[in-house]
Amino acid sequence: MLVPVAFADGFGTTARVFTFDGLADGREHLALGLGDRSAAPRPGACDRDPTPTRLHSECLTGDVFGSGRCDCGAQLRESVERLDASGGFLLYLRQEGRGIGLYPKLDAYVLQDAGLDTYEANVALGYGEDERDYTVAAQMLGALGVSRVELLSNNPDKAAQLRALGITVARRVPTGVHLSDANAHYLATKVVRGAHTLDLHVQP
C-alpha cells in the first residue's frame, strides 16, 4: 500500500507500508519502504549489500505532538528523508516510552520533573531502564528479505540485539544531534547512561 507522507516543514514523499502477521509480541508494527525500496520485495529475496534501515520506537508525544522533551520527532523526520534519498526501510515499532507504554511514560515525565532522569524514572515505576526487545524487528526484516543492514541509529543496543537475532549490522550510522534547551538533559543522559553516540558538550 502506497501512502503519501508529509511533515510540517514541507518535506514529503511516498512510502510503501508493509504490515505483518505472526510477530512475536502480537502487536501492530509497520515497515515503511522508502526511495527505491518502496516496492514489494521479491519472493525469496536475499540482500547482497546492506540495506539502510531505521528502527524507530513509537513516541506519540514527540512524533505526533512535537514534544520538545525528546528528539524522537526530529529523528523520525530526518530518517524518512535520508532513507528516501538512499532507499531503505523504516520500521515503526510500537514501543512507547522505551517499551513501558504511553501512560507509564507520562507518569515517568512527572518523576523527571521532580528530578529523576529518564532511566531512573522508568526504574522508579517498576520497569527496566529500557524494556525494548527487537525480536519483532528481526522478524520484520526477515519477511522483507533483509539480512544485512546499515543501521541508522545512535543506540548501540539496537545493533547488539539485531546481531544476536541473526541480522548482520554492517555498520551503524548515527542520526543528527537535535539539541534544544528542553531536551539537553535528556540527550546527555542517553549518552551517559545508554552509551548513545551523540556528540554533545553538556553534562547530564
Q: Which residues are catalytic?
A: 130, 132
Distances in Å between the Cα of 87 and the Cα atoms of 40, 81, 83, 125, 151 are: 13, 10, 5, 40, 13
Among 157, 84, 85, 145, smallest CA distance to 119 is for 157
Taking the C-alpha atoms of residue 145 and residue 102, their distance in angstroms, rounded to an integer, is: 31
Contact yes or no for 88/51 (Cβ under 8 A) = yes
